[in-house]
Amino acid sequence: MAHQLYLEKEKYRQWVKAGLGLGYLKEGLVPFCDDVAKQQHKDILDNIKQTNNLPNVTCGQCTLRTLQPDHLKIANNKCPLGQTNCNCCYTSGKIACPNNVCGFIYDNIITNHASTQPAPYWKNTRTQQWTGDPWSIAKCFINAPGYDQKTSAADTDCTGLLHVIINNKYFHNHIQCNLAGANVFSKVRQYRNEIFHSSTMELEQADANTYIDDMIAVLQDGKELINRKDAQDAVKKLEELKNEDFIVTTENMERVLRDIREEMGNLRKLTEGLATKDACEDLKRKLSALEFPMSQQSEVYAS
């Protein structure tokens, strides 16, 4: 069959293996991220109950644009928590949470953001969901657009999951790796861009093995992941990818291409919100570079 011509190319098979590895990495991270996000959510609500002496924590009335934080600005109109363009600096039209809840959560998200100048990505979240949905808080730590409609860890790609782990100090308590500066979690996050945005869809075996080894290292982090069955089951799948006798099938190929098509669809939606014409044109060129080889392979796959 014609599609076998692609699978006979060694570098292409290595690229597919790396793409499959990203899927296995996500499988291993989802339950962990889900559990930690739920625990963080519970701790936040418990702290609100204790601090504000509330029997229950619920709201759903506040909006981010008009929410008045619990903290106050300091001299020279600066945020004491270090956030640029914080709501505390623009008090006109801001309204305190009527239930004494959302301002506390807003502050908690900022103080848990790991960047030097905390920069939660507020566009990914809806304030109205904070008290009832743990993932709506976790999404604030994904410093990239396109996750506003993601409703759970399982609904989020591995890049988004790695963003949550790297950018959320609460998650750092569950990770042995030092996530400040260069670290394997950040390296693997970059690998996904290199794999999915490759215009050649080819990879040297040594590079593919390096990517997979680092994915394994993420899932074997010594604090908690090393002891989680779901993470170690994913490690076994990743190790199988490195076996010489591992057969890359057309089903494997289509799974990776399907993931890339989904990302390309998300990127197209984002072009409308890009700030500059140059940025928009640059993204269109990148999409075009990917679409040509993908269209060729889709035709071959269908033959």
Cα separations in angstroms, 211 against 49, 189, 203, 204, 249: 44, 10, 10, 11, 20
63 pLDDT more than 90: yes
Rounded distance between C-alpha atoms, residue 107 and residue 96, angstroms: 13
- Where do the H-state alpha helices sit in the chain? 4-7, 10-52, 102-112, 134-138, 158-167, 169-172, 184-196, 205-219, 229-241, 250-271, 277-302
pLDDT (average), residues 282-289: 50
Give residue for tokens 């071959």: 300
Judged against a pLDDT cut of 50, whether residue 301 lies above it is answered with no
Tally of CB atoms within 10 A around 39? 14
Question: How does the average pLDDT of the chain come out, rounded?
Answer: 86
129-150: pLDDT as tens digits: 999 999 999 999 999 888 999 9
What is the reported pLDDT for 303? 37
Q: Which residue has the higher pLDDT, 6 or 149?
A: 149
Which residues, at least 6 apart from 139, have a Cβ–Cβ distance to it below 8 Å?
A: 121, 124, 125, 147, 148, 150, 156, 160, 164
Buried b (16+ CB within 10 A) or exposed e, 90-126: eeeeeeebebbbbbbbbbbbbebbbeeebbbbbbbbe
Cβ-contact 112, 127 below 8 angstroms:
no
Say what the pLDDT of residue 252 is: 79
Q: What is the pLDDT of residue 118?
A: 92
pLDDT of residue 299: 44
